[in-house]
Structure 1
Amino acid sequence: MRLEVLLPFQIFLQKDAVSRVVAETSTGSFGLLPHRLDCVAALVPGILSFETPDDGEVFVAIDEGVLVKTGPDVRVSVRRAMLGSSLAQLRSAVEHEFLTLDEQTSSQRAVMNKLETGFLTRFALIRHD
Structure 2
Amino acid sequence: MATKLKAGIAGFGVVGRRRKACIDAHPSLECIAVCDRSVDDLGPPKERVRLHADYEALLSEDLDVLFVCLPNDLAAEATIAGLERGLHVFCEKPPGRTLTDIANVIEVERQRPAQRQAILDERGGAPSEAKPEDSLG
TM-score, normalised relative to structure 1:
0.28
Comparing both structures, which one devotes a greater share of its residues to strand? 1
Based on CA coordinates, which of the two structures has the bigger radius of gyration? 1
TM-score, normalised relative to structure 2:
0.27
